[in-house]
Amino acid sequence: MSDQEFDRCASVPSPLSLKANMLWNSAGSLTYLACQWLVTVLVVRLTSGYDAAGLLSLAMSVTGIFGTFATYKMNTYQISDVHHEHKLADYLGFRLVMLVGAFAACMIYALLTCTEGALLTIALFYGFKGVGLVIDVLHGADQQHRRMDYIGKSFMLQGVGTLAAFALVFGLTQSLNAAIAAMGAAALAVLALFDLPHTGRLETVSVRFSRAETLFFARTSLPAVVASVAASALFTIPKQYLAVDAGDAALGIYASVSAIALVVQMGAQYLYVPLLDVFPRAFFDEGAGAFRRLLAKAVAGILAMSVVATALLVLLGPWVLGLLFGESILPYAYLLLPVILATVATAFLWFLGDLLIALRDFRGNFWGNIAALAAVCALTVPLVSTYDMNGVSFAGAGACLVGVAVCAAFLARDVRRRGRPDASEAETEPGKQIIPGERSEVSSPANEPGISSIGRD
């Protein structure tokens, strides 16, 4: 160990308590969410129509699909890497490789499915999201060291900075593309000036491109990636059909109404994400009973948050919509309740999917989301054609509930197997996949000579 590494290790900040980490993560994440939501408000308020809002929503939806390829569902994998089987440098290298590949795929998809006028907007928004995805890898290291105050502060800086950049540039130029570019510059400043130096206090920040590590990550997480692409398409498919069937203005109206309900979905994620390194420890080290108790608390917390948020949105939603978007949005307040129910269903699908990945049950996560994708493909055309904008919510909610049922069945099977007194080490070691029906170990390049080793999913 070099003198520099020794000095850094000796001065590593002490970990925070679980409560402090949850509070910092929630505060920062909700600040970021609120600021990103305000961007969708400003894009309506600073223009006379909904066309810019529809274009922004389209860019978010399309890049969301390929952002999933870029993350390769590695955030959850990295956070739950409780034995540090891979190094931060390897996670960063893999993320950069996937960002480049996913960008190429994204633009090919956009060329085939979107209008020419949307291409630059999609490319710029992908660049903005790409900076955030690099930051997320550093956040994974922060969480492994139980310093989620760094994550919370970073999200606050990103949220406020990108909101201010968007408001200033869009207000002055009325150019959506220029405003998105300004958001990307603001996010890049947070990466360079805050996240890199703070994560550097915890461990060495560098980038390593390793063919062995890349192939290992690509092979191991492929089922989770396919599942994540399926999950990201659950609302993209009905939204795109709505845009084709009813036009960009209808999509813009739906996006504006649905924006205020995202607090339910994201709030649930911010509640359970700090537990993603706690769940595998409980499952593998403490047994099925401890895991069940933790799971019950997490589900109860998500349900309580969803009930409170839903009640508030039902009571205050129309007033908030009118305040934010003007009287022109009030005739569409009827969209709110189905949107809320859809976001709650989505929150539970995200939770169970991430939990299965944390337990290395990639097959359960895969089949749950594939079942949801098949359901939304079957439901989109009849429901959107019949219920117009509400059909997007109905199709997405129905698909999510199908996925939740399948994921829950796999999770129950994993817990039963873990609770067996004769469970073998191959089924219960943290570094090995739990695949119902199989007992094969996933090899890691960490075990190969010469290979060093240690989630905005």
Q: Is residue 4 part of a domain?
A: no
**Whether 196 and 330 share a structural domain:** no
| Residues 429, 114 contacting (CB under 8 angstroms) | no
| Token couple for 391 | 């059909």
CA 59/CA 38 separation, integer angstroms: 16
Please report whether residue 1 resides in a domain. Answer: no
Same domain, 231 and 202: no
Task: Give bridge partners of residue 435 from the DSSP assignment.
Answer: 438
DSSP code per residue over 360-385 = T-HHHHHHHHHHHHHHHHHHHHHHHH
Do 308 and 365 lie in one domain? The reply is yes
Give the model's pLDDT for residue 423: 47
Model pTM score: 0.72
Tell me, yes or no, whether 169 and 234 share the same domain.
no
pLDDT at 215: 92
Identify the residue whose tokens are 């999933």: 68
Same domain, 321 and 403: yes
Using the structure block, give the residue that is written with the tokens 């909101």. Answer: 163
Q: What whole-number distance in Å separates Cα of residue 177 and Cα of residue 118?
A: 10
| pLDDT at residue number 288 | 81
Specify whether 182 is located in the same domain as 315.
Answer: no
Distance CA 350, CA 265 (A): 9
Q: Residue 457: inside a domain, yes or no? A: no
Residue numbers of the chain with a pLDDT score lower than 50: 422-455
Q: Are residues 361 and 268 in the same domain?
A: yes
How far is the C-alpha of 174 from the C-alpha of 185, rounded, in Å?
Answer: 18
* Sign of the torsion formed by the C-alpha atoms of 293, 84, 223 and 429: negative
Specify whether 307 is located in the same domain as 188.
Answer: no
Q: What pLDDT does 260 receive? A: 78
Based on the domain organization, do 155 and 277 belong to the same domain? no
Q: Cβ contacts of residue 138 below 8 Å, gap of 6+?
A: 88, 92, 191, 195, 196, 199, 205
pLDDT at site 445: 31
Q: Do residues 299 and 369 both lie within one domain? A: yes
Q: What was the pLDDT predicted at 379? A: 93
Nearest in space to 74 (alpha carbons), one of 369, 354, 368, 397 = 354
Distance from first CA to last CA of the chain, Å, rounded? 34
Q: Is residue 446 part of a domain?
A: no
Residues 189-211 as b/e (b if ≥16 CB within 10 A, e otherwise) read bbbeebbeebbeebbebeeeebe
Q: Is residue 454 in a domain? A: no
Whether residues 284 and 433 fall in one domain: yes
* pLDDT value for 454: 25
Q: How many domains does the chain have?
A: 2
Asked whether residue 403 is domain-assigned, the answer is yes
At residue 450, the 3 state secondary structure works out as coil
pLDDT tens profile 276-332? 888 888 888 787 888 899 899 889 988 888 888 888 888 888 888 888 777 888 888
| Predicted pLDDT at 189 | 97
Is there a single domain that holds both residue 231 and residue 195? Answer: no
Q: Write down the pLDDT at residue 367.
A: 96
Question: Which amino acid appears at position 109 of this protein?
Answer: Y
**Domain span holding position 136:** 12-209
Give the CA distances from residue 445 to residues 15, 212, 216, 427, in Å, rounded to whole numbers and listed in that order. 29, 6, 7, 20
Is 453 among the domain residues? Answer: no
